[in-house]
Amino acid sequence: MDYRDTPEEAEFRLSLRAWLKDNTIEGWRDLTEVADVRKLRKEWHRKLYAAGYMGLNWPVEYGGQGLSPIYDAILNDEAGKADTPPLPGMVNYLGRAIFTYGSEEQKKRFLPTLLNGEIQWCQGFSEPSAGSDLASLRTRAVREGDEYVVNGQKMWTSGAIHADWCLLLVRTDTSVAKHKGISCLLTPLEVPGVTVRPIVLHSGEPETAEVFFDDVRIPAENRIGEEGAGWKIAMTTVSYERGAADVGFISKLRRTITELEDAARERNLLGDQGIRRKLARAYVDCEALNWNVARQLSMRISGRAPGPEGSVGKLLWSRAAQGTMHAALDIFGADALTGAREEWLSDYFTSRPVSVYGGSSQIQKNILARMLDMPKG
């Protein structure tokens, strides 16, 4: 594969770059109130949609543009460079779950508002005792006539405090193997029995949430796929979390490494061999992630569904993000710890849970070990 832009891709990139320069919402990082952030996310989503930048890789019949995943990668790359508000990344992987497994009626009902930002979504997968071991989830859904009655708790549900609906994994059968007793319900969050409780992290911001379900009644017609097909749907969703979206993280990491190089120069630390090694390691890890993502995109363009290479990318992302922040703490030292440059300490803590997003590093290594037919320890 030639990793350079084609003339059409280069034209798209330049047009997008100009649009982002004129339309990125100024001062978005200063917003902290939940209502303000929710308004911002929705406004940004709808601006991107109106400009034709949402659903680039969706099939045309579902409102997308049917373009190559490369265009999504360019969108993420340029947004990362321009330091825009976060892109609504869930559109691609939740949309993939709905248009792959949903009924025609569900596609007509849910896909347009997912794409245009009118309805905001979150993903209800992890639980207090089922994070990395997702198949052990306990949130129970019991069929009563034309409804499911849901009871349980979800944890670390990113975006739940801003979401209207949730792609929810529930256990509908306890008599079969745990992977086979899971189903997937499209669940409104503003119904009786649902409680969304923000989780305030180190930054002081409620970046994620726990969601409680207490006798919540969900119409059976909201189930996507067959009963018991939830594991397959979840794996499809998780596999498409990786790939084009990673390009945005790479842009941000490159920008951060450049900032750290400048800071090290200003503090006369570029002669410190330890600092030099950590900056070099961060740069190499970031570029290794870049080429892994390029390879993933190349295979996706050739028609291959996401496979275990996504686990390699996830491990590389964790290593690059955390290694970069280790270098930051070494460079800023006491200033990061005592408040003079507290943003770097906050960014360091933000990098720590990267290794559990979308499946922990241990889970990713287990997947790769199985693919390599390695013996169990």
Q: Report the largest interatomic distance among the alpha carbons of the chain, rounded to a whole angstrom.
A: 72
Q: Which residues are catalytic?
A: 241
Single out the residue of 25, 8, 9 nearest to residue 87, CA to CA. Answer: 25
Cα(224)–Cα(160) distance, integer angstroms: 20
CA distance 54 to 91: 8
Tokens linked to 96: 């993939």
DSSP state of 127: B
Side-chain-side CA neighbours of residue 20 (13 Å): 21
Q: Tokens standing for 6?
A: 């084609």
d(CA 84, CA 305): 29
Distances from the Cα of 146 to the Cα of 142, 151, 194, 230, angstroms = 11, 17, 19, 19
